[in-house]
Amino acid sequence: MVVIELGYVGVDDPPDPSPRASGWLRRHVRRAAAAVLAALCLLTVTASDHAPAPRGVRPLWSIPLGDEDSFQVSGDTVVVHSTGTPRRLSGYGRTDGAVRWSRELDVQAPFVIAVPDSGVVLLPSTPPGVPTQPDGVSMPPRFTETTAVDAATGAELWRGAGDPAWAGIGDGTLLVDHPDNGPGVARLRLVGLRDGRDRWRRDTPGAEQIATIGADPRHPDRVATVTGSGRVRLLRLDNGAEEGGGTVAWPPGSAFPFSSLEWHDGQLFVLHANDTRATVAAYGGQPLRQRWRIDVPGANAAGCGPVLCLSAGTGLTGHDWRTGAERWRLPDAVTRPFGAGLLAIVEGPESPLRVIDAATGQPVVTLAGQPVEDETGEVELMLSAPVAPDSRMVVTRVRPRTGETFTLGTIDAVPDYGCALDRDLLLCRTVRGRLSVTAVG
């Protein structure tokens, strides 16, 4: 993929951002101390009069799931990607686990992308012979082919060249065509999700990277391309029309190996980082002109919702997007997103999460366990560490803004960030090698 999305700020490696991803992603966060977290999770706060307490948990079904297998939910189907020999893609009823279809795969796709509200899953792949990273489990540097499958029936809808850059744009998906001689962006195409036909295409000579942008990051309406010389073009996603651009500071990749583009409140932000410093510059107007810039030694930079976060040896700071001014500062800390407008401070592998208001840096609540996000990125549940002797985990529904918690029940132990919440179902990869689906009230 060519889009770099920085969603975790800190000096340590981030946790796996996708609980449904396959086992080739490394686990980064240790499970907390069992006895302490179990006791904390069992402390239940009575619900307010206007909000009845949740009902509990109810196991529905489970199937074997290998370490390298992955799953996604698309509509009423759970799509499981099995990496054994032969590779298979299978569809199971979301609530009953009934096998709806199963097909052998002839592509080396490392994972599956479920396109929201479409009933379509995408499988990005690379021809045999393209090496992975030295650890043998990382993604290849680029994908060159995409296969679309109907999630309800398992039928192949289309197959064609291109690396999926953004899955759901209306009834289309944005594909990147890479140059023949390596990474980069030679061309952008918006194709129909169900027919694979081009809606529009744009050649992007010299482009090194792209970023989908817009007022709502989950529903972008434009794509920005940037060349090695810093030339930026802004294109509409619905028709490919050019809407402006300009020139930004874009040092050679060897100087700043980690570079990305972000969009917030009508401004384009250019983030560069290496082992010794981070640089953030804001651009606005047409053509784009620099409005402010921050250089911080030994820092990482990423968007944190209402603020820009910088993490350095001296602490974590939140900065105003419009001016770059510092809004708040915390002692040296590692943070992760925690739903709309919230951040979770990770103070240690055995410590509860300290949730703060991202806009002000003020504390909101302290919660124990690992968070589970729903399909919109909101934190709905917390899971305790496994408790001996049967290694069950306590499931607690949380209201992060108020600190209210409701103990729902227990499930089989899962690895760190091994669960996803889809509407009223909790889908988990268990430590015993199974996909477990549980109804949560």
Q: Is the pLDDT of residue 48 over 90?
A: no
CA-based R_g, the chain, Å? 22
| pLDDT of 54 | 58
| pLDDT of 1 | 39
Q: Which has more confidence, 161 or 23?
A: 161
Q: Which has more confidence, 332 or 252?
A: 252
Q: Which has more confidence, 140 or 286?
A: 286
pLDDT interval class at 40 (50, 70, 90): very low
Q: Is the pLDDT of residue 408 over 70?
A: yes
| pLDDT of 27 | 32
| pLDDT of 424 | 94
Q: Is the pLDDT of residue 41 over 60?
A: no
Q: Work out the percent of the chain whose per-residue pLDDT is above 70.
A: 83
pLDDT interval class at 215 (50, 70, 90): confident
Tens-place pLDDT, residues 112-140 = 999 999 999 999 998 765 544 444 444 45
* Residue 369 CB coordination number (10 Å): 24
Can the peptide bond before residue 389 be classed as cis, meaning omega within 30 degrees of 0? Answer: yes
Tens-place pLDDT, residues 367-401 = 988 899 988 888 999 998 777 667 899 999 999 88
Whole-structure pTM value: 0.82
**Domain locations in the chain as residue ranges:** 32-64+368-441
pLDDT interval class at 145 (50, 70, 90): very high
Residue pair 37/352 in contact by the 8 Å Cβ criterion: yes
| pLDDT of 94 | 98
Q: Is the pLDDT of residue 21 over 80?
A: no
| pLDDT of 347 | 76
Tens-place pLDDT, residues 312-362 = 877 889 999 999 999 999 986 778 889 889 999 887 767 889 999 999 999
148-177 core/surface letters (b: 16 or more CB in 10 A; e: else): bbbbbebeebbeeebbbbbbbbeebbbbbb
| pLDDT of 357 | 96
| pLDDT of 148 | 98
Average confidence (pLDDT) over 80-97: 96
Both ends of the chain: CA-CA distance in Å? 37
pLDDT interval class at 141 (50, 70, 90): low
Q: Say which range, 197-201, 209-213, 336-340, has the weakest mean pLDDT.
A: 336-340
pLDDT interval class at 32 (50, 70, 90): very low
| pLDDT of 52 | 52
In DSSP terms, which residues pair with 163 in a beta bridge? 176
Q: For residue 12, which of 27, 33, 32 has the smallest C-alpha distance?
A: 27
Q: Work out the percent of the chain whose per-residue pLDDT is above 90.
A: 59
CA distances from 35 to 165, 253, 382, 409, 417 (A): 43, 47, 15, 16, 19
Average confidence (pLDDT) over 32-39: 33
State how far the Cα of 342 lies from the Cα of 361, in Å rounded to an integer.
Answer: 9
